[in-house]
Chains A and B, each alone.
Chain A
Amino acid sequence: MNAPENPQAILLAGLDGDNTWGIEHYIKRGGYSALRKILESGMTPEQIIAEVKKSDLRGRGGAGFPTGLKWSFMPRQFPMDKYVVCNSDEGEPGTFKDRDLLRYNPHLVIEGMAIAGYVMGCTRGYNYIHGEIFSLYQRFEEALAEARAAGFIGKNILGKGFDFDLFAHHGWGAYICGEETALLESIEGKKGQPRFKPPFPASHGLYGKPTTINNTETFAAIPWIINNGGEAFQALGKPNNGGTKIFSVSGHVNRPGVYEIPLGTPFSTLLEMCGGMRGGRKLKAVIPGGSSAPVLPGDIMMDCTMDYDSISKAGSMLGSGAVIVMDETTCMVKSLERLSYFYHEESCGQCTPCREGTGWLYRMVHRIEHGQGRPDDLDTLDNVASNIAGRTICALGDAAAFPVKSFIKHFRSEFEYHVEHKHCLVPVDVQREGSRIYVEHAAC
């Protein structure tokens, strides 16, 4: 990985070197010891769930649902097939944490899934990897082959009579397939469209069978919890926010990238780790949890710690931990236009508010950005976003609405300036200067 070693890291620890993704390197780092421990010590599923509950591990995909609780919903005694599915369809603007996990530490995910399979009595698992970075899928397939050859997945694992096979499945770039039920549809070979819930996947999931879906990073945290105990994991973070979390930081910082820090770390510390604001400019706004999380003004953000509860209290979501940092050269209207375009393009089209509303939002913001805004547009925008939020089958509607509402809430004056003056508050050359790094890249 060739990044400076981070003493706080547990998921991304020991990845400095070549071929850290190979099974040899993984075992040398202590890999598969958790799976071995469980199978050899005869730890029961109930004990493991208790450990996971103690760890305060919360889902790393965005919703932050307690993992131990989710696992306990699975009808373990259900006599038919059950599935464990890993959601590696990381497609939201700003998120790239699972990319590095899968790229440098795929066996950690495999081990975590095998343990999950053991806990929930599943004999089959799928890892759904997005298709945009195809090498991830290929590397995961290689890792699966290694694990299979070494007897960590397949029949009679470690000679303990536990069967669990794992398969990789790749998408073709639809953001909506990151929604867990759309993901299941996609694995089933259907069009990726979310299902109406209830029934929830725990009772009616993949192929109509009980299914548990967790994020890549969630599975990756499991082996450490088994090896070190739930309480130790919990102690890394803060109450109700156990462990470390990988943040993918992008935007106007000096060193954008992937950072694993304990939950509860102040945002300012994270910003320092990223080398501070580029060019020493002033922090204007942060989207703390991926593009679907509401934006927060810089000063509010500087008072936050990076954990579920603190960010939620500030009015946004920790989400998937994709921190998008914006400095004073940013035009908020243009930023929102870009986000709205994304949701307009990625709506699956199944249910009315999202199919029709996302396009409407984008077109209005586009108009404002291009100097054709009307005074009543802002209220209409806010109202249309409210009409989408909470009225759709899945959360994509909310994801499209939250940025709009939060951008207008926190930066209304900038939008009004746009409407009134037909151009941006931030002069175009300042905006260009702020994005210089990209301009330079484009030049070479």
Chain B
Amino acid sequence: MLEIEIDGQKLEVPDGSTVMDAANRLGLHIPHFCYHKKLSIAANCRMCLVQVERAPKPLPACATPVTNGMKVQTHSEQAVTAQKGVMEFLLINHPLDCPICDQGGECQLQDLAVGYGASSSRYQEEKRVVMNKNLGPLISTDMTRCIHCTRCVRFGQEIAGVMELGMANRGEHSEIMTFVGHTVDSELSGNMIDLCPVGALTSKPFRYSARTWELSRRKTVSPHDSLGSNLIVQVKHDEVKRVLPLENEDVNECWISDRDRFSYEALNGEERLTKPMIKQNGQWLEVDWQTALEYAASSLRRVTDEHGAGKVGMLAAPYATVEELYLGAQLMRGLGGGSIDTRLRQSDFGLDGKLSGTPWLGMKIADVSKLNAALVVGSFLRKDHPLLAQRLRQAARRGTRVSALGVSGEDWLMTTHARVTVAPSQLAAELAGLVKAAADIRGVAAPAAAASASVSDAARRIAQSLIDDGARAIFLGAVVQQHAQAAGLHALAQELARLTGATLGYLGEGANSVGAAVVGAQTGLNPQQMFAGDLRACVLLHAEPELDAANPAAAVEALKRADTVIVMSPFKTGLDYADCLLPVSPFTETSGTFVSIEGRIQSFHAVVRPKGETRPAWKVLRVLGSMLELGGFRFDSSEQVRDEALSGATGWLPEYKLGNTASDVACATPAAVEGLQRVADFPIYRNDALARRAPALAATRDSAVPSARISTGTAQAAGLATAKRVRVRSAAGACELDLTLDDTVPASCVRVSAGWPQTAPLGALSGTLNVEAV
């Protein structure tokens, strides 16, 4: 510990602290621009110059290490003169037209200029003008305002893992820019807007639509991934204008992904459903709620009466709230045995009833940072879990050995210990190899399923990293969960965890997949059985099976066959198979609760009034339950629903409800597959109803029209090396796509993204595809 005195206040700080750290601990504010607690120290803005006893000149607080007995003055004449001098330099070439700057009112330069700037400028020369840059659809630039703090550059290098912005040229000609002709495509790029202390980088969708002081700030939770990122939603005139991170060091730190940030555009979009609608004689009619609810209730009652509740099902998105799912489950149960599920993308349900609890991350999110080794199996990590990827990236920078076993060699923008990329059918063989390797290292006999597995060098490396001391974990991603051998792969991973001592965890999809399991929203028939069986009545809660089902083609077929399909969604969706549309609130317009993958219970309030005649889904379900005269719908508030659903738990789910240990599940055996196998991902902005409808996100490179991606070698072997456009056929259907050569795709595979109408005819997410040039 070192002793330091700042402005007369003494304190002790740990070795290696800087003067800025010490001042922060004292709650003293030292003006700064380039310093950011999550970024490396640049010391280039020079705003934080302070007077240090015995130093001949002022020193930057952000970069000066504390020495024992150091005495610092932050407001002495020397310090303030230096700070004012720097402020003058920053302002000479900065436009002094705050009223027309989008950053006005939330600009660090503006704020500090009040304290450290002069009332008029001594600078009489011509000001510098810098050309604006096109950074893509999310970030707007006003580069003349840039003060070259390089926060955006460092963010890219250190947090996003890719240096998309850099400072080119020298001296006064220095400019922040991308590599010639490139845009900023990181899935975390929006954070650069927050980091930019001036109006150089601002939000393109938000640009000039409101002033910061007109906006009210309301807390909520992101519905997009299972992390449960904390958000600040900024609202004006009952419209969401902007979404910013709410700092929570244990969850999202001070970041959010672009999906969290920009999906709000969909909330105000034209696709919003604002009035209940009923289809009569093939025509959609807008009706009042009473009519719509009576129609829905009587349809459900009629089907139940005629066919039994076993033919009634509800499919909800994994980002429906705890309250919605609980009441949905009540409704299905009340009808006498209806089914409800949220796992539309899953195709193997062999783990149902065999797990020790609800599958979850296996640890706290914050503990991911403390891992010594991690193996991520079958995940499009950066796109599925942008912030968890970021956390692992930081951990990897500090020495965590992150390994990957998956079906795509896409760059995770972090140092990986070992990477194994194989066709989906080979995941079982590779996992078995890992199990064998672990057993060999431990000197015990490998389980029967892995006894004859071949062990690669990479497998040995990974197994060793999972055995070495320290915290270590195995995470199963979406590819495993959606795999046709999901249960068997789980069994293998569980063996690996047992042999290595690593914690087994799931990277769940959707903001509330854990909550859904806990409140019983996965009961009765599973989605596959519903679609394969004779489903007569179906309620869709936020879900869009035409894009989200494991087999969209089959799902749509089943829904078209049903007598009644009631869609509860904020959007006009399912028009060709539904007969009743009920406008329900998206996450911003309802109170609710999400349970994240770490079991964290986070409740939130509505941040805006429901749009048009939209109603919170939990209220709609409550009314439906009452109309159907079912018991258990007497709730006055969503809090009451939550308390009953979660048995009064707040803060965290009780640990006994969570568990990733399966019993009596056979390990998967490698399946021999002939032909090209499909690798299917859900692109980051095609992953849920909200993101799909956000125009700015739709304009990003991640939303590029899907193509058939194939490695160069496989293309040559298949005679497709020169093909530009191909016809892709599966057992279910066919579509025509552009062919892209992509060497991150494993051999004998073709990657065709799901979540797009263009590729929906192909049906199942796995299986073989026939690809021929057009």
Binding site for B on A (CB under 8 A): 174, 176, 191, 196, 198, 344-353, 355-360, 363-364, 367, 374, 380, 386-387, 390-393
Contact = CB atoms under 8 A, between A and B. Distances in A.
The 5 closest A-B pairs by CB, nearest first: A349-B174, A387-B85, A390-B57, A356-B89, A347-B171
B interface, size bucket: 35 or more
Interface of B: 41-47, 49, 56-58, 60, 63, 65, 82, 85-86, 88-90, 92-93, 122-126, 128, 147-148, 167, 169-174
A353 B85 contact: yes
Contact of A360 (B92, B169, B170, B173): B92
A391 B63 contact: no
Contact of B148 (A346, A352, A359): A352
B46 A174 contact: no
A358 B92 CA distance: 12
B113 to A, nearest CB: 14
A363 to B, nearest CB: 4
B86 A347 contact: no
Given A359-B171, A364-B125, A352 B56 contact: no
Contact of A356 (B41, B58, B90): B90
Contacts of B92: 356, 360
Contacts of B123: 360
Nearest to B84: A387
Contacts of B169: 349
B174 A391 contact: no
A348 B172 contact: no
Given A355-B148, A360-B125, A380-B122, A349 B46 contact: no
A357 B57 CA distance: 18
Given A344-B171, A355-B172, A391 B57 contact: yes
Contacts of B42: 196
Contacts, number: 95
Contact of B43 (A346, A347, A351, A390): A351
A393 B43 contact: yes
Contacts of A360: 89, 92, 123, 125
7 contacts: A196-B60, A348-B171, A349-B172, A360-B89, A360-B125, A387-B85, A392-B46
A347 B41 CA distance: 20
Contacts of A356: 89-90, 92-93, 172
B170 A347 contact: yes
Contacts of B172: 344, 347, 349, 355-356, 358-359
Given A353-B89, A356-B92, A391 B46 contact: yes
Contacts of A350: 44, 148, 167, 174
Contact of A355 (B56, B122, B171): B171
B170 A391 contact: no
A357 B89 contact: yes
Contacts of B43: 196, 351, 393
B65 A348 contact: no
Nearest to B44: A351
Contacts of A359: 93, 125, 128, 171-172
B45 A351 contact: yes
Contacts of A355: 89, 148, 171-172, 174
A284 B89 CA distance: 34
A353 B167 contact: no
A349 B175 CA distance: 9
Given A355-B148, A357-B89, A391-B82, A349 B171 contact: yes
A348 B173 CA distance: 9
A348 B169 CA distance: 8
A196 B41 contact: yes
B170 A349 contact: yes
Contact of A352 (B41, B125, B147): B147
Contacts of A347: 170-172
A349 B89 contact: no
Contact of B46 (A346, A352, A386): A352
Query: Most B CB atoms within 10 A — which of A176, A357, A387, A391?
Result: A391
A117 to B, nearest CB: 30
Contacts of B167: 191, 349-350
B39 to A, nearest CB: 14
A174 B170 CA distance: 9
Contacts of B85: 353, 386-387, 391
Given A349-B171, A350-B44, A386-B85, 4 more contacts: A191-B167, A350-B167, A351-B46, A387-B88
A352 B82 CA distance: 12
A391 B171 contact: no
B41 A353 contact: no
A198 B148 contact: no
A391 B88 contact: no
A232 B660 CA distance: 79
Contact of B125 (A191, A351, A363, A391): A363
Contacts of B65: 198
A376 to B, nearest CB: 8
Contacts of B122: 380
B44 A352 contact: yes
Contacts of B171: 344-349, 355, 358-359
Contacts of A387: 82, 85-86, 88-89
A196 to B, nearest CB: 4
A353 B82 CA distance: 10
A198 B16 CA distance: 12
Contacts of A344: 171-172
A392 B88 CA distance: 15
Contacts of B170: 174, 176, 346-349
A374 B89 CA distance: 20
Query: Most A CB atoms within 10 A — which of B65, B122, B126?
Result: B122
Nearest to B149: A352
Contacts of B41: 196
A113 to B, nearest CB: 29
